[in-house]
Amino acid sequence: MSRRSRNSRQNAPRFGRFGVRAAVAAAAMLLLSAPVVAKEGGAIGVSAPISGFYAVVGKEIEKGARAAVDRFPDARIELHDDECEPEGGVKTADEMIESRVRIAIGYPCIEAFDAAMPKLADANIPLLLIGVQSEAITVDRRKGNWPVLRLAPKASDEADAIADYLKEAWRGINFAIIDDGTLYGRQIAEEVRFRLEEDNLKPVFTDTYRPQLENQVALVRRLQKSGATHVFVGGDAFDAAIIGADAEAVGVSLTLAGGSAFVASPDDAVLADGTILGALPAWSGAGELPKALADATEGATVIGNSYLVPTYAALQIAMAALEGLDADEPIFFGDFLGRTFQTVLGPIRFDGDGNVSRNLFRIFVIEDGRPVAVSGGSSTGSIQ
């Protein structure tokens, strides 16, 4: 079992929850489609880290935007490089204001977003934010009256989806909650524990284990002694696979559950059948994606296209919001509220805080080595 891909993934940026820092090259601005069509209400600005260390994220966003141009040939879309840095955020916001962008999309890095948003707000440019999950965004939006619409789950949505499922699946079962001591592991374990205890479900055992070990038999024995048959693991797929394999080897029956850190490539970790995980799906688009985008998402089962398809959906929302408007007709934050947008992510509605009103996380169970979506396993199907 290889650690190389595991460690690489562990050190990768978690844009959604924590933001990033990156040293990147000078910015570039690309004009994707030149014609200005007054009916569509002017340009849409897309900001992403196109160059530098996190260019892989920017390229996904760029690809999603270019696919949307194919779908909406009359749209004028500008792509800006925010460098994943505060300076880049300021620069791209200034560029959008100067070019009289009507709606902004992107800013997956929280540093660039924090720097750009006050400027966009002063210019009354609504932003469809991609990827940033920080709960502080809602507070900042209220304080600054920022016109932010978050096309991403909130940080709390992952634990909500998992706990909602476990409240039913693990009722009457002896379960344990363990974590690997990392910030993510502790947080997700504590959040799931709190939500379960709200429903009077308490673990029979809690522990912090040492991660990255090739052998977790001692942990398995402690779990066995506690009487736990099911275990929520605040950790990643590598450790979960070791725990599961060691449990099977010593004859201890354990059903494991975890969060999005359980997502791993086949050579990284082999999760036991029956393992439960909460994660964002690989958006299929239900046949609505253009061929280039459909090819890019083909074969993806859970996470893996977390910026590409949502960017396409953001363009769908922006074009729907601008439909029928004259080029000089203003568009406001409130214009996005109280309506449902049909997108490749399914129906999207924003609440009064600008957050998607349904939980985008899904519950999966490993079957024959592959994650299979659980029908009704989360609140993803509901529009509230």
3-state secondary structure the chain: CCCHHHHHHHCCCCHHHHCCCCCCCCCCEEECCCCCCHHHCCCEEEEECCCCCCHHHHHHHHHHHHHHHHHCCCCCEEEEECCCCHHHHHHHHHHHHHCCCCEEEECCCHHHHHHHHHHHHHCCCCEEEECCCCCHHHHHHHHHCCCEEEECCCCCHHHHHHHHHHHHHCCCCCEEEEECCCHHHHHHHHHHHHHHHHCCCCCCEEEECCCCCCCCHHHHHHHHHHCCCEEEEECCHHHHHHHHHHHHHCCCCCEEEECHHHCCCCCCCCCCCCCEEEECCCCCHHHCCCHHHHHHHCCCCCCCCCCHHHHHHHHHHHHHHHCCCCCCCCCCHHHHECCCEEECCEEECECCCCEECCCCCEEEEEECCEEEECCCCCCCCCCC
Residue 291 lies in a domain: no
- Please tell me the predicted confidence (pLDDT) of residue 43: 87
In terms of domains, do 173 and 148 share one? no
Q: For residues 42 and 73, state if they share a domain.
A: yes
Q: Give the residue among 185, 194, 170 at the shortest CA–CA distance from 258.
A: 185
Number of domains in the chain: 2
- Asked whether residue 356 is domain-assigned, the answer is no
Q: Are residues 54 and 103 in the same domain?
A: yes
Claim to verify: residue 29 and residue 149 sit in the same structural domain: yes
* pLDDT value of residue 58: 92
Residue 298 domain-assigned?
no
Report the predicted TM-score, pTM, of the whole model to 2 decimal places: 0.80
CA distance 343 to 350: 13
pLDDT for 308 equals: 86
Question: Over its length of 384 residues, how does the chain's per-residue pLDDT go in tens digits?
Answer: 443 333 333 333 334 433 332 332 223 333 343 333 333 335 899 999 998 888 989 998 998 888 888 777 777 899 999 999 999 999 999 999 999 999 999 999 999 999 999 999 999 999 999 988 888 888 888 888 899 999 999 989 999 999 999 999 999 999 999 999 999 999 999 999 999 999 999 999 999 999 999 999 999 999 999 999 999 999 999 999 999 999 999 999 999 999 999 987 667 778 999 999 999 887 655 455 666 566 655 555 445 557 888 999 999 999 999 988 887 788 899 999 989 999 888 899 999 999 999 999 999 999 998 888 887 544 433 333
Whole-number Å distance between alpha carbons of 177 and 361: 20
Please give the pLDDT value at position 40: 38
Q: What's the pLDDT at 210?
A: 96
Full domain range(s) for residue 261: 157-279+362-373
| 8 Å CB contact between 211 and 182 | yes
For residues 220 and 225, give the distance between their C-alpha atoms in angstroms, rounded to a whole number: 9
Same domain, 26 and 47: yes
Shared domain for 200 and 134, answered yes or no, is no
Name every residue whose Cβ is closer than 8 Å to that of residue 91 and which is 6 or more positions away in sequence: 27, 80, 82, 83
Structural domain includes residue 284: no
Kindly state whether residues 242 and 228 are assigned to the same domain: yes
Residues 137 and 168 in one domain: no
Location of structure tokens 């994606």? 289
Q: What is the dihedral of CA 309, 88, 91, 59, to 10 degrees?
A: -30
**Six-digit token string for 311:** 């960017």
Supply φ then ψ for residue 338, to 5 degrees.
75, 15
180, part of any domain: yes
Residue 382 lies in a domain: no
- 122 and 161 share one domain: no
383 part of a folded domain: no
Residue 300 lies in a domain: no
Tell me the backbone φ, ψ of residue 381, rounded to 5 degrees.
-85, -5
Residues 38 and 139 reside in one and the same domain: yes
CATH number of the domain to which 248 belongs: 3.40.50.2300
**One domain for residues 18 and 139:** yes
Q: How far apart (Å, rounded) are the C-alpha atoms in residues 33 and 238? A: 44
- Do both 26 and 40 map to the same domain? yes
